[in-house]
């Protein structure tokens, strides 16, 4: 990227970086003010599932704005909030029948862990407050969500401000935390939850939270079959709520309505996020059971929590239109089918010796990059392999989502791919071709 920066009043995420001006979007493409076209190969940060510039959503926005844009959740309900909750519950596994709305994913994660805590108090078990999570995970950037996350690099600056919470190992077959070969694996990583609950004391543990497939911190880490089934059993054994964070993976991203449905596991809470608003509005939802809702209703009576924009009618109307679009265009099944095509194409990248692992499910895929394919040794983070490949694809007109820290919290490079669920085979070929060229060029610069 050029060594110029943006000379305006915006506090950018990276003030040393130059950001082109996005002007419009259509389908899987974003166009900048210079007229350059980019394939949105990661839907931003796994957000724009239905693609850019969808007319039906624009119409729903205008229609709702003409009626009412805002009313506060402590004063009114709306037909849009009610209708959207009906649609979300119809997509969710059985038993998940109450929806609490939020704006962002971090806010939704905070909501879920506080809801779990209040549930425990209101049903008469106030000793339960701890939330166990996993290393190599991401749950957001607010301090509570950051505490649950397992990405050392992101936590480092704020460490003194982050509360201590217990973390278990991830389900990461390419870098098995127990060094096991697949044939010897008994999903020991799931058993780690039981050990942690026993160490911490079952009477103190309120909930366990995990992403069904790790996104931002490891690049589409899909768990082994049996993992979440075992996790559910352990949670049940110790009366611990299971919260799945589907901020990235929900609403068809992995070829099912919710990714956890791949394993027929019914959690106590699902956090549904980015694909719900698909970038047309900030909206997230915590979906839970009548057991949790009823305990709070019968206990304190009110959930001692809330955010101003929760349940706002504009966001609810827009998300409702997004879900209709997903249904009408069969995008969940499309994600499953195109995901197979994408993964198959990505396998061509195995020709590069710095490609260590290619994984994914539905249109949620990751390419892990390694210094040495035999030993799986990661690159020195100073080499910035992930960012360099991301910058190179960007120059060539492909947006992907590079990340790092998967190997040990600091080391490890990956590229996350999650194009809009509307992508065609031809567009997928183009995406992979640009990624292929970019990996090849950066590998060559590194002397491979």
Ligand X SMILES: Cc1ncc(COP(=O)(O)O)c(C=O)c1O
- Contacts with ligand X by CB under 6 A lie at 45, 104-106, 109, 138-140, 211, 215-216, 245, 247-248
Q: How far is the CB of 284 from ligand X (least distance, A)?
A: 7
198 Cβ neighbours under 8 A, 6+ residues apart: none
Instruction: Give the burial class of 179: count Cβ atoms within 10 A of its Cβ; 0-12 exposed, 13-18 middle, 19 or more buried.
Output: exposed
Comparing CB distances to ligand X, the nearer of 45 and 162 is 45
Q: Could you tell me which residues are beta bridge partners of residue 416?
A: 366, 401
The nearest distance, CB 347 to ligand X, in angstroms, is 25
Hey, how many other C-beta atoms are within 10 angstroms of the C-beta on 324?
A: 14
Q: How far is the CB of 273 from ligand X (least distance, A)?
A: 6
Nearer to ligand X, 47 or 240 (CB): 47
Pairing outcome for strands 413-417 and 401-404: antiparallel
Between residues 122 and 245, which has the closer beta carbon with respect to ligand X? 245
Rank residues 140 and 406 by Cβ distance to ligand X and give the closer one.
Answer: 140
CA dist., res. 229 & res. 213, Å (int): 14
Cβ at position 403, least distance to ligand X in Å = 10
Cα-based distances in Å from 82 to 181, 200, 201, 226, 311: 49, 40, 39, 35, 9
Q: Minimum Å distance from CB 245 to ligand X?
A: 4
Q: How far does CA 100 lie from the centroid of its chain?
A: 18
Do the bridges between strand 167-168 and strand 130-134 make them parallel or antiparallel, or are there none, so unpaired? parallel
Q: How far is the CB of 254 from ligand X (least distance, A)?
A: 12
**430 closest CA partner among 386, 397, 401:** 397
Minimum Å distance from CB 35 to ligand X?
30
Beta carbon of residue 378, minimum distance to ligand X (angstroms, whole number): 21
Strand residues in 223-305 grouped as ranges (E): 241-246, 269-272, 284-289
Of 102 and 118, CB closest to ligand X: 102
HSE toward the beta carbon, residue 240, CA cutoff 13 A: 30
Contact 231, 241 (CB under 8 A): no
Nearer to ligand X, 118 or 133 (CB): 133
Please state, in angstroms and as integers, the Cα–Cα distance from residue 48 to each residue in 119, 225, 331, following that order: 33, 28, 12
**Measured from the CB atom, is 108 or 442 closer to ligand X?**
108
The sheet carrying 398-399 orders its strands as: 22-26, 29-32, 37-40, 398-399
**354 phi and psi, to 5 degrees?**
-85, -5
**Min dist. Cβ of residue 302 to ligand X (A):** 25
User: Based on CB atoms, which residue is closest to ligand X, 148 or 342?
Assistant: 148
Please identify, using beta-carbon distances, which residue of 222 and 354 lies nearer to ligand X.
Answer: 222
What is the number of the residue whose Cβ is closest to ligand X?
Answer: 105
């Amino acid at each position: 990227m050029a060594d110029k920066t943006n000379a305006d009043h915006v506090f950018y995420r990276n003030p040393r970086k130059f950001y082109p001006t996005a002007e419009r979007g259509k389908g899987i493409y974003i166009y900048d003010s210079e007229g350059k076209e980019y394939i949105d190969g990661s839907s931003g940060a796994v957000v724009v599932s239905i693609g850019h510039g969808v007319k039906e959503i624009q119409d729903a926005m205008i229609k709702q704005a003409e009626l009412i844009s805002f009313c506060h959740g402590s004063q009114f309900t709306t037909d849009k909030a009610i209708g959207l909750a009906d649609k979300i519950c119809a997509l969710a596994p059985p038993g998940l029948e109450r929806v609490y709305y939020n704006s962002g994913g971090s806010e939704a994660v905070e909501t879920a862990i506080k809801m779990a805590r209040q549930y425990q108090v209101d049903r008469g078990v106030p000793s339960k407050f701890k939330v166990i999570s996993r290393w190599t995970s991401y749950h957001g950037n607010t301090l509570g969500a950051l505490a649950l996350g397992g990405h050392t690099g992101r936590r480092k600056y704020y460490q003194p401000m982050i509360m201590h919470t217990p973390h278990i190992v991830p389900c990461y077959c390419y870098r098995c935390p127990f060094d096991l070969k697949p044939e010897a694996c008994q999903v020991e990583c799931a058993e780690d939850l039981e050990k942690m609950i026993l160490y911490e004391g079952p009477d103190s543990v309120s909930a366990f939270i995990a992403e069904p497939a790790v996104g931002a911190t490891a690049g589409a880490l899909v768990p082994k079959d049996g993992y979440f089934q075992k996790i559910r059993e352990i949670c049940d054994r110790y009366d611990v709520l299971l919260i799945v964070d589907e901020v990235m993976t929900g609403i068809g991203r992995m070829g099912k309505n919710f990714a956890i449905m791949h394993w027929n596991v019914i959690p106590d809470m699902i956090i549904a996020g980015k694909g719900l608003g698909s970038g047309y509005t900030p909206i997230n939802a915590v979906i839970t059971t009548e057991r949790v809702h009823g305990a709070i209703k019968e206990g304190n009576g009110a959930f001692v929590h809330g955010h101003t924009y929760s349940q706002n009618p504009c966001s609810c109307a827009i998300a409702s239109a997004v879900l209709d679009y997903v249904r009408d265009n069969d995008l969940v099944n499309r994600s499953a089918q195109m995901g197979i095509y994408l993964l198959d194409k990505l396998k061509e990248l195995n020709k590069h010796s710095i490609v260590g692992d290619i994984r994914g499910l539905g249109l949620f895929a990751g390419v892990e990059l390694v210094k040495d394919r035999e030993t799986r040794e990661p690159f020195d983070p100073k080499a910035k392999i992930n960012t360099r490949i991301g910058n190179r694809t960007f120059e060539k007109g492909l947006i992907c989502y590079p990340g790092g820290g998967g190997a040990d919290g600091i080391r490890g490079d990956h590229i996350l791919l999650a194009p809009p669920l509307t992508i065609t085979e031809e567009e997928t070929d183009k995406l992979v071709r640009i990624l292929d060229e970019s990996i090849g060029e950066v590998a060559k610069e590194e002397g491979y």
